[in-house]
Structure 1
Amino acid sequence: MRPDAIKLRSVSKRYGTGGSTVTALDDITLAFPAGTFTAVMGPSGSGKSTLLQCAAGLDRPTSGSVRVGDTELTTLSERRLTLLRRRRVGFVFQAFNLLPSLTAAQNVALPLRLAGRRPARSRVREVLCQVGLGDRAGHRPSQLSGGQQQRVALARALITGPEVLFADEPTGALDSRTGREVLALLRDLVDTGGGTVVMVTHDPVAASYADRVVFLVDGRVSGELKEPSAGEIAAHLTTLEAGEVAAHLTGSEAAGFGAAGKATTC
């Protein structure tokens, strides 16, 4: 049995106070085993990004427990939490967040420099080669395509050897071909490198690269699929979104929705 790289227990996250309180996560218990690739999906506003932020230590839950390996995140000071993020987790987002004045190699080395460590050129070259950019080390972001910039961002996330890589819509700004290349790299991190990847996405094709897909609705876990096809994921999402629309209809509206069997959503 694989140990858990990340475990959330009874995690809730609320914003605001009194009558204006919004519950983004509602008593979620969920584990991400080491050496696996998990995609998190759900309708807009279901709590996907909030889940990722709490699991990665970017935000603190209102209640509950979050553990990275054997470390409880909710009791750490801000300083220790920052150190944990720098040393044990990696992040890739839809926006590449590269510094335009730095070369690819300098962008990759940045997390180590921020941590007060001297990056070895051989290590920087190694991770750039790992993402297929060994010959682009001296190029600045403006000299790279969108897919290449996302690869640099991925190499930057890998430079510290993180236990878990969190990806929030990593292919959202890419065309389908370069998106597939980035997803193949994430898949290889798990299959060849034994890494753990947790990815938020709205794209069924992207999610099909994962070992399992966890679905959220209204801040709660609403089932999962293991090794599903893109078609199976899309069908499940359609069912969830239809159910969410029906849940917000009342009386004759709900009856009409059921009779029609479908609804138009934004």
Structure 2
Amino acid sequence: MDDAVRLESLTKTYGSGDSAVTALRDVHLSFPRGTFTAVMGPSGSGKSTLLQCAAALDRPTSGRVFIDGTDIAGLNETALTELRRESTGFVFQAFNLLPSLTAEQNVALPMRLAGRKPDRRTVQRALAQVGLEKKAGSRPGQLSGGQQQRVAIARALVTRPAVLFADEPTGALDLTTGRELLDMLRKLVDSPVDDGLATVVMVTHDPNVASYADRVLFLADGGLAGELISPTPEAVAARMTDLTVSR
């Protein structure tokens, strides 16, 4: 199985001199295609920085990032923008939908930003993937929080990216709606459309949320601090307790 994303000796430092803060230290990681990975760690452990660098939203100070086989180090800003647009999808805790646009128009936005005429069948397929094909004409204000997050995921999926990044995707949702969303992310990986290998990388602080993933990666002080395969909420919570106490 090849990798949707690979990180080699990834280091990210903010500032310089005595005020420099190293958020990531020599991180080596791979995210194989067709897998669901959760990233956890105490506050300040570097998990959000990891997600930003892995998604090419921020450049590392040193090390290499490969997305869908492409080394981003040699890309100028225009090429990097195109890579992000075509090969990655990003879902935030805040849904970031444009309130004046319908669900269908919000999903089509990445195509318009790329200078392409949106293909309605492609947009409808993305909405169908998240179970909202009947809400295509609804604006965000007419949708529940869970439905808005599903539109955000459809927007991230419309270009059929190599990897979907999610930063606390259930953070603004109630428990029941959050579970429905996680079931949907799980299904994207287990039953991808058109035989594509869907890959999900998710940052979360919740052991119950992390248990939906195939594996959980733990960060501490900017470095890897272990992983769990086939995680349970109890095992994740115990590992997080150990990390917090040992700091």
TM-score, scaled to structure 1? 0.90
Matching residue of 1:31: 30
Paired residue type of 1:212:
R
CA–CA distance in 1 between the matches of 2:189 and 2:60?
28
**2:115, 2:172 → 1: CA distance?**
32
| 1:14 alignment counterpart | 13
Structure 2 unaligned blocks of 5 or more: none
Q: How do residues 105-116 of structure 1 correspond to structure 2 at under 5 angstroms?
A: 105-116=104-115
Distance 2:45 2:74 in 1: 26
CA drift at 1:153: 0.1
Residue equivalent to 1:248 = none
Aligned to 2:215: 212
User: For residues 41 and 75 of structure 1, what CA distance do their matches in structure 2 show?
Assistant: 30
SS in 2 for 1:202: coil
Counterpart-to-counterpart distance in 1, 2:180 and 2:113: 29
Write out per-residue CA displacement over residues 140-187 of structure 1, whole angstroms, 9 at most, x where no aligned residue: 101111000000000000000000000000000001111111111111
Q: Per-residue deviation at 1:189?
A: 1.0
Mapped pair 1:232 → 2:235: yes
Q: CA deviation at 1:9?
A: 0.7
2:37/2:216 contact within 8 Å kept: yes
The count of aligned residue pairs is 243
Deviation at 1:130, TM superposition (A): 1.2
* Secondary structure of the corresponding residue to residue 6 of structure 2: strand
* 1:75 pairs with 2:78: no
Output one character per residue of 1:96-118: Cα deviation in whole Å (capped at 9) or x when no partner: 00000000000000000100111
String of CA shifts for 1:203-262, please: whole Å, max 9, x gaps. 111110100000000000000000110111011101110111xxxxxxxxxxxxxxxxxx
Distance in 2 separating the partners of 1:70 and 1:179: 32
Q: Give yes or no for contact 2:97–2:152 (8 Å, CA) kept in 1.
A: yes
Partner of 1:165: 164
Q: Distance in 2 between matches of 1:35 and 1:176?
A: 26
Report if the CA contact (8 A) 1:90-1:157 is conserved: yes
Distance 2:161 2:5 in 1: 12
Deviation, structure 1 residue 4? 1.2
Would the aligned equivalents of 1:61 and 1:74 in 2 still touch at CA under 8 Å?
no
Cα distance in 2, alignment partners of residues 130 and 33 from structure 1: 22
CA distance in 2, matches of 1:25, 1:74: 17
For 1:185 and 1:112, the matched residues in 2 are separated by 23
CA distance in 2, matches of 1:130, 1:198: 18
**Unmatched 5+ residue regions in structure 1?**
245-266
Matched residues in 1 for 2:214 and 2:10: separation? 23
Tell me, yes or no, if structure 1 residue 243 matches structure 2 residue 243. no
What is the rounded CA distance, in whole Å, between the counterparts of 2:204 and 2:136 in structure 1?
A: 29
Contact 1:27 1:220 in 2 (8 A): yes
Distance 2:225 2:47 in 1: 12
CA distance in 2, matches of 1:70, 1:102: 34
Q: Percent of counterpart pairs with the same letter?
A: 66
* 2:81 counterpart SS class: helix
1:74 is paired with a residue of what secondary structure? helix
Amino acid at match of 2:97: L
Q: Separation in 1 of the partners of 2:181 and 2:82?
A: 27
SS across alignment from 1:153? helix
RMSD: 0.7
For 1:190 and 1:39, how far apart are their aligned partners in 2?
13
- In terms of Rg, which structure is larger? 1
State the 4+ residue runs in structure 1 displaced beyond 6 angstroms: none
Q: Measure, in 2, the Cα distance between the counterparts of 1:200 and 1:220.
A: 15
Name the amino acid aligned to 1:108: V
Q: How far apart in 2 are the matches of 1:4 and 1:109?
A: 27
Q: 1:223 aligns with which of 196, 202, 226?
A: 226
- In the alignment, is the contact (CA less than 8 A) between 1:66 and 1:73 conserved in 2? yes
What is the TM-score when the length of structure 2 is the normalising length? 0.97
Per-residue deviation, 1:69: 2.6
